[in-house]
Copies of this chain bind each other. A is one copy, B any other.
């Protein structure tokens, strides 16, 4: 994959507001929607989830998750060739009094100012999703797997 394609796919993480989150739910794969932010220069994604949502309990019981961020289907692109990024990641709840909470909250609210009210609710938590591998798909037969340093460099953008 050339650099331009890798950059185009990295931009999806800045521009697309939601990801499909795959969790292990009672032993079965379940997919839900999560708004997310990848703070600038960081290597982990941040989501803000309710204790009432099944995916929140799923992540506590089984932290390894899958994530998919897709380009918007449009007239010019065959759906089969839609650019997308699939990640495997490990979920960690950020304690409210922890060192990382304030920065994650600020990044989340910068992207989603309407979500401010949910930070007033006791049942919501910030969860960091640390990617351990990525599969970048730029189109038909244009895929690349990333791990380790190459993954971190790509995430930092």
Contact = CB atoms under 8 A, between A and B. Distances in A.
A145 to B, nearest CB: 11
- Please state the number of chain copies in the assembly: 2
A152 interface: no
A105 interface: no
A38 interface: no
A92 interface: no
Interface in A53-87: 62, 64-68, 70, 72-73, 78-80, 82, 84, 86
A115 B79 CA distance: 9
B29 A68 contact: no
A114 B33 contact: no
B115 A67 contact: no
A86 B34 CA distance: 12
Interface of A: 16-18, 20-25, 28-33, 35, 62, 64-68, 70, 72-73, 78-80, 82, 84, 86, 88, 112, 114-115, 118, 137
